[in-house]
Amino acid sequence: IADCLQTITEKALAHQGKITKTIGDEVMAVFPSAEDAFLAACAMQAAVKNNLPVNGTPLLIRVGFNYGEVIKESNDVFGNTVNTAARVAAITRAGQIMSTREVLNVLPVALQRRMRLIMRAEFKGKRDHQEVYQVIDDQEDIEATRCGIPAYRKPPENDTEMVLRYRNHTAKVANDQRSISLGREEFCSIVVKNTFASRLHTQIELRLGKFYITDQSTNGTFIRFSDDSVVHITRQEILLARNGTISLGQSFDDSPDELIEFSITTTPTEPTPS
């Protein structure tokens, strides 16, 4: 994975990109133009696909990018453009590149021809559905698309559920309950009696079959995943996977007592006969 991240970084830098952050196995970069981002994404995919498999298993990456204004703070960037890019990346399948109408509008015609409308997705904070495009970076895929064979197929619907446990309390996030809140106030779905926690500390949402945690606190949220990697987010949103532990406002290095455990299960839904 480290070699893969290095390859991604090198291709970003080669196309005038600047790395703003690396969280776990995800890299965020900014580019001076949509064209630079487009070409960098294609270069990343080509380089990773050409790498040798690890223990017989090829590594695949997914790339999502967007175009627009951002808010700069130190070496980081924020704003709706960044949030949309993250959400596009989250719904992208391994080995694919996805982007938006905002990117399509400013690309040269030659690159516009390599983008195909895949879906109209509903993202948090957006009134209208967001057009999501797939970048066709392989000649075989381009020919297949021209012949009417879709290069992208919608994955089957799954029943996905997250269970959270705090002390004697259990809460679920699922299709019938798509969001919950965690914090110190009584109105929260899970009330955490912790002086480090904010009144409304964080929220967890189910969107398009994936679980996102959004920090809204002063001290931030610490997440320890099943592989023992730890992420600290402050006023940010990340994707949760598999299972792990959440600490509101207090680092795991401080041996916090108030911990929330989460686990995610996915059950394939039987297709409906047509």
- From 251, 216, 212, 217, select the one nearest 231 (Cα to Cα): 251
Residues 109, 207 within the same domain: no
Same domain, 142 and 230: no
Using the structure block, give the residue that is written with the tokens 């099943």.
Answer: 226
66-119 pLDDT, tens digit per residue, is 999 999 988 889 998 998 998 888 888 888 899 999 999 999 999 999 998 877
> Angle 153-157-158 (CA atoms, 0-180°, nearest 5)?
130
- Residue-number span of the structural domain to which 264 is assigned: 158-268
Q: Convert the pLDDT of each residue in 138-183 to its tens digit.
A: 544 444 444 343 444 444 456 789 999 999 999 999 988 888 999 9
Do 129 and 175 fall within a single domain?
A: no
The total domain count for the chain is 2
